[in-house]
Amino acid sequence: MKKIKAGIIGAASLVSGKLIELLLNHENVEITCLVSEHFTHKSIGQAHSHLKGVQGLEFEPYDLDQIEKKCDLVFSAKPHGESMEKIPELLKLGIKVIDISADFRIKNPKVFSEWYKVDHAAPEILKKAVYGLPELYFEKIKNAQLIANPGCYPTSVILGLAPLISLSLVNTDDVIIVDSVSGISGAGRSLSSNTQFINISDNIRPYNVGTHRHTPEMEQELSLMAGNKSIRVLFAPNVGPFNFGIASNIFLNLKNNKTAEKDLFAAYTDYYKDKPFVRICKPDTIPEIKDVVNTNFCDIGVCFDKRLKCCVVFSVIDNIIKGAAGQAVQNMNIMSGLDEKEGLPYKHALNKKKKPTEIETCAC
């Protein structure tokens, strides 16, 4: 098979560093173009120190002709607001695009501008964009030209809630509470006192509670899944003293207060029965970040508190892999007719139809 000729714009970002790493291990991809205005003509080791010594690759300026010549597919890791400036012209050239920014995730441009404080630059293209969560939209992704790669927090939350919501088990009158802790890599390479070791270590910091821009993304996808019943999410993100991973603790009410935990478990394993990257924890057990870091897995546990009639879902991912670069590779694979596991950790281990059940040590 001919290799996919892949380019990256915004190629000096932290997420791009991981994406390049994954693509360098991918059998069916050739990296043909790395665009960074800031690092133009520098070697990739200058931006991504773990990749120093990798040869034959250096950063280029943004040049549409070059991209057309060299690329079948482009990943955009440019910041929100900048990505939508470039993507329309790439699409016109027939190039496939996977946008890792938030620019094409929110389908309603009014909602986008409310939360992102900027008007959408290409609202006419929003309809073309497929929300790139493969566990939900595999078929649409296959035929898409433009993928809106999901946000890190929404990936953990939407996958965590999908079985309950699609089976109409959730009491949607009540607000769903999401309390998530993310590693500091979520802030990329931004330099501020908020990213200094002395302020992150031995600490945990809530931020943008109720106002974080991943909120409308979660609400959009969950409401769609609920047959356009409006789902409201109170989203409380926190930064924790580690580099990689997100743990989302999700609190909600079910319609049926006599729900048995084993039925919830069965619903989850059935819903995800042929999804290689979702693993479900056995009843009474809980997932942990450490088991998904450096992988493309989303591990999910679901508990039901009989005393209080509340349901708690625990969902963990690597924020930079399943929450960004790994999911982008998964999307690329699907768009290109490849096995979705290609180039991702443990690809040879996940070939059969899986029943994702392992006992955890922690009691729920």
For β-strands 96-99 and 4-9, DSSP reports them as: unpaired
The span of 61-69, 74-82, 123-131, 297-305 binding a second copy (CB under 8 A) equals 297-305
The single residue among 5, 128, 140, 205 that binds a second copy, judged by CB under 8 A, is 205
Interface pick for a second copy out of 226, 251, 266, 342 (rule CB under 8 A)? 251
Distance CA 30, CA 329 (A): 13
Q: How far is the CB of 234 from a second copy (least distance, A)?
A: 5
Q: Which of 255, 262, 273, 290 binds a second copy (CB under 8 A)?
A: 290
Q: CB under 8 A: which stretch of 83-91, 162-170, 198-206, 328-336 binds a second copy? A: 198-206
By beta-carbon proximity to a second copy, the closer residue of 80 and 282 is 282
Active-site pick, 33, 152, 298, 303: 152
What is the C-alpha separation between 171 and 310, in angstroms, rounded? Answer: 11
Report the alpha-carbon distance of residue 136 to residue 72 in Å, rounded.
25
Please pick, from the candidates 131, 244, 265, 271, the single residue that binds a second copy as defined by CB under 8 A.
244
Provide CB contacts within 8 A for 337, sequence distance 6+.
142
**Residue ranges with strand state E in 46-174:** 59-60, 73-76, 96-99, 130-131, 146-148
Cα within 13 Å of Cα(343), Cβ side: 30
| Residue 136 tokens, joined | 């939900």
- Token couple for 270: 């059935």
Whether 154 and 136 have beta carbons less than 8 Å apart is answered as no
Minimum CB–partner distance for residue 132 and a second copy (Å): 23
Contact range with a second copy by CB under 8 A, out of 115-123, 131-139, 240-248, 324-332: 240-248
Q: How far apart are CA 280 and CA 90, in angstroms?
A: 39
Token code pair at residue 320 = 């930079």
For a second copy, the binding residues in 253-282 under the rule CB under 8 A are 279
Q: Tell me whether residue 91 or residue 286 sits nearer to a second copy (CB atom).
A: 286
Amino acid at 210: G
Nearer to a second copy, 80 or 354 (CB): 354
Which of the ranges 81-89, 116-124, 135-143, 344-352 carries the binding residues for a second copy, by CB under 8 A? 344-352
Q: Which of 292, 324, 334, 338 binds a second copy (CB under 8 A)?
A: 292
Asked if residue 1 binds a second copy (CB under 8 A), the reply is no
The yes or no reply on residue 359 touching a second copy (CB under 8 A) is: yes
Yes or no: say if 107 and 100 are a contact pair by the CB < 8 Å rule: no
CA angle 20, 24, 30 (to 5 degrees): 95
For residue 2, the 8-state DSSP code is P
Best CA proximity match to 185, nearest among 239, 149, 249 = 239
Report the sign of the C-alpha dihedral through residues 287, 289, 291, 297, in that order: positive
Total residues binding a second copy (CB under 8 A): 96
Q: Candidates 64, 93, 260, 308: give the one binding a second copy (CB under 8 A).
A: 308
Q: Which residues of 94-130 are buried (b: 16+ CB within 10 A; e: fewer)?
A: ebbbbbbbbbbbbbeeeebeebbeeebbbeebbebbb
CA–CA separation, 250 and 245 (whole Å): 16
Annotated catalytic, 298? no
Q: Within positions 63 to 102, which residues make up the interface with a second copy, using CB under 8 A?
A: none
Residue whose CB is less far from a second copy, 44 or 95: 44
CB of 105 to a second copy, least distance (A): 19
Chosen residue from 87, 146, 264, 293 binding a second copy by CB under 8 A: 293
Q: Which is nearer to a second copy, 51 or 266 (CB)?
A: 51
Per-residue contact string for residues 143-182; x = within reach of a second copy by CB under 8 A: --------------------------------x-x-x-x-
The residue among 93 and 204 lying less far from a second copy, judged by its C-beta, is 204
Which of these segments, 125-133, 153-161, 321-329, 343-351, binds a second copy (CB under 8 A)? 343-351
Residues annotated as catalytic (active site), given as ranges: 152
